[in-house]
Amino acid sequence: MTLDGAIQSRTTTSSSTMRCWRTCRSATTPSRSVCSSSAAATAALSGRCCATRTSSAGIVERIELVDIDGAVIEQSKIHFPQIACGYADPCVTAKVGDGIAFVRDAPDNTYDVIIIDTTDPEGPASELFGLDFYSNVKRILRPGGIVCNQGESVWMHRPLIEKMLHFLRQDVGFASVQYALIYIPTYPCGSIGTLVCAKDAGHDLTVPLRPVEAITGTAQERFHEKLKYYSSDMHKASFVLPRFAAYLNDETKK
């Protein structure tokens, strides 16, 4: 397990923080539980980041991280301790198994937030973009729940993004689905997208329900002050797309 000479361990500041903080700050009741599902071994490193960043959000009582390869979990602890440190948080439970089976077997209305960190739709992770999988994802979400999945590059994959948005809005039936940008210098074209889905109507994903700037208390409780990327302004701005892609977030054109 290597980074192939890349510097991706430095970019978790943007990629994982935005996926986790933005999602948790958008959910109606994010303190109940979180399922972070990384169902392909190739996505396991980012899965580690998600557990760490989500636990640092400070409003989550329970995180269940599912990964198909237990060896990657253990190797991450050894070789990437700065990324895998989330395992030490008592609210994190790591489970080795198939993410598809996990959501299939989970009870209805269980999770407030589901973060799906997969590889691309073509290949080993293709089933993680299917109707059966996402129907179960929606089923196990509680009212007010939010789903976040990686959404490809708006610079390179617009036809695929259009297809995914239509699928999530029309076939799966999420009440709202928005594409959001994250700037990551080590990714192709310098950015990656996420597909953020709300289970219930009337949920404005672009506005954080719990602005981090409103957090008060001790220095330890004001951990958000150490964030290098996420803020309420970045939360809102991530949904503002370049003019050539702005139509993707127009939900009147499903």
Spatial separation of the C-alpha atoms in residues 251 and 35, rounded to whole Å: 27
The answer to whether 141 and 176 are in contact (CB under 8 A) is: no
105 noted as active-site residue: no
* Of the candidates 114, 150, 107, 145, the residue with the CA atom closest to the CA atom of residue 129: 150
**What secondary structure letter does DSSP report for 146?**
E
| Annotated catalytic residue, options 69, 105, 117, 233 | 117
In a 3-state reduction of DSSP, which class is residue 198? Answer: strand
**Residue 9 CB: number of other CB atoms within 10 A?**
15
Name the burial class of residue 63, with classes exposed (0-12), middle (13-18) and buried (19+) by CB atoms within 10 angstroms of its CB: buried
Active site residues: 117
